[in-house]
Structure 1
Amino acid sequence: MSLFDLGDIKTVKISQPIFLKGNNEKGILLIHGFTGSPHDMTYLAKSLNEEGYTVMVPRLPGHGTSSLDFLESNWRDWLRRSLDSYFDLAGLCKDVYVAGLSMGGVLTLVLASIVNPRKVISIAGAIFTTEKRIALTPIISLFTKKVKKEGYGEKYDNEDLKYLSKEYWSYNWPLQAKHLYKLMKIARKRLKFIKSDILILASEKDKVVPLKAAHYIYKNVSSERRKLEVFKESGHVMTNDIEKEKVAETIINWLKE
């Protein structure tokens, strides 16, 4: 399968990009995570828009469509879409902030080191992961592109979520994880170039990104204004979990400071 054989693929409804026009001349770019899609940012996007912000949530290439499409994307595609979306939003708003979840947090950090937005937010930013085998993915990916997850049994009522579970979340992705690992290494090296005001959110119950990642970001950015908030009950997808209201409130209050 190649790019020339992807004719029947489409973006599922809940994975469509989000754009919400605001009224305060300030924009915020929200970047979703690895195997996620804009639906993970829906609550936060609507909450920010209610406060007057113009909100853009792009769909990263290969996400929200199919596993075949996913395997055709790479870290350069994901970073390019993030940069393009930032430039588009900067053409509409006088001031643009950036927030990202998980891999989106990594992309946010890399983006911040390049374009220096005034404010950025890392949400469970995955510059480290609890999955130790990710360092081996450059080798593993030479032999296999995806591996069925043992014991995976999440059930969903929503048809789009059922589809995304079947196409993405039921597998481990050595080839794509190799690209994520590349981004993680780039982000760690470029933290010293980040001067933007930064809010770092993390959760004690996150089983994907260890708490040390948040502390590492906090200690290694060059930002004069930095803040770390640790939540108690959220899982990894903090923007769409049990404390999503508190996450949104924390972000909104910090942006207003």
Structure 2
Amino acid sequence: MNLLKFSTNIKTVEVSQPIFLEGNNAIGVLLIHGYTGSPHDMKFLAEKLNKEGFTVYVPRLPGHGTSSEDFLKSNHRDWLRRVIDSYFDLSGKCKEVYVAGLSMGGVLTLILASIFNPKKIVSIAGAIFTTEKKIALTPYISLFLKKIKREGYNGTYENKDLQYLSKEYWSYNWPLQAKYLYKLMKIARKRLKYINSDILILASEKDMTVPLEAAHYIYNNVSSKSKELKIFKKTGHVMTNDIEKEEVAETIIEWFKK
């Protein structure tokens, strides 16, 4: 990668800054945000966990929370490497590290668990499958198009950082980056049998991005002796920052405190 080709105006907006909250119970929790998301999606959950004594770290995945230019220069290896590095860093501070991830973060959590088998993990709307069937075509589409304007999207936010992220990320579809997400999805499915961590799987009936099939597939294919599946009724895809976020947080806290 030629770093000289980067714009000098790229920066990480405030809501996307990594989150680190020191706890007092010797257990760390690594929280991993999703595709085109950033740490702000995990802020509520992070603060709830920290109030229970956990040390919490929410890293920012490469290419996220900065700009579309930066996003297009990142790939699945970068995202997985950041998660592994973050797990190492938190393991150096805490006696035990639990892991939870949202959407693509759930996929990265599963891959991480298949390698290191932390004691407890949570998959939150883990995107090992997606309702967007065209994702299988992204290896071909990405040869011609790197981003496509989302027809009908008009997301507006009062918060200037969220409005910026909407303009840079959520206003487009990203065939090249979706290709990398698709690779991670396939890797995760193949590695489920190597997961022995105690696993909590959360999903929602109202999720329009990840079908319930994904949660059941994870449940049926991991090798974990202790596993639970909970289906929510009202929340959308970003379960950690939606209408049932309180119950989602309480469910995860109870799982980690078992």
TM-score normalised over the length of structure 1: 0.99
Q: 1:2 to 1:148 in 2, by over 3 A?
A: farther
**Does structure 1 residue 173 correspond to structure 2 residue 174?**
yes
Post-superposition CA distance 1:183-219 (Å, at most 9, x none)? 0000000000000000000000000000000000000
Post-superposition CA distance 1:48-85 (Å, at most 9, x none)? 00000000000000000000000000000000000000
Q: Distance in 1 between matches of 2:28 and 2:255?
A: 15
Q: What CA RMSD, in Å, does the superposition of the two structures yield over aligned residues? A: 0.9
Residue of structure 2 equivalent to 1:250: 251
Query: CA offset at residue 3 of structure 1?
Result: 3.1
Q: 1:95 to 1:138 in 2, by over 3 A?
A: same
Query: CA offset at residue 2 of structure 1?
Result: 5.5
Contact 1:200 1:227 in 2 (8 A): yes
Does the residue aligned with 2:123 lie in a helix, a strand or coil?
strand
**Does structure 1 residue 40 correspond to structure 2 residue 41?**
yes
State the aligned residue count: 257
**Does structure 1 residue 163 correspond to structure 2 residue 148?**
no
Identity across the alignment (%): 75
Contact 1:3 1:72 in 2 (8 A): no
Q: Distance in 2 between matches of 1:128 and 1:239?
A: 19
- State the one-letter code of the partner of 1:99: A
Query: CA offset at residue 5 of structure 1?
Result: 2.2
Q: 5 Å matches for 1:24-39?
A: 24-39=25-40
User: Which runs of 5 or more structure 1 residues have no equivalent in the other structure?
Assistant: none
Residue of structure 1 equivalent to 2:86: 85
Q: 5 Å matches for 1:38-77?
A: 38-77=39-78
Q: 5 Å matches for 1:120-135?
A: 120-135=121-136
Post-superposition CA distance 1:84-107 (Å, at most 9, x none)? 000000000000000000000000
Does the residue aligned with 2:134 lie in a helix, a strand or coil?
helix
Residue of structure 2 equivalent to 1:205: 206
User: Which runs of 5 or more structure 2 residues have no equivalent in the other structure?
Assistant: none
Q: Distance in 2 between matches of 1:134 and 1:156?
A: 28
Query: CA offset at residue 4 of structure 1?
Result: 1.8
Residue of structure 1 equivalent to 2:109: 108
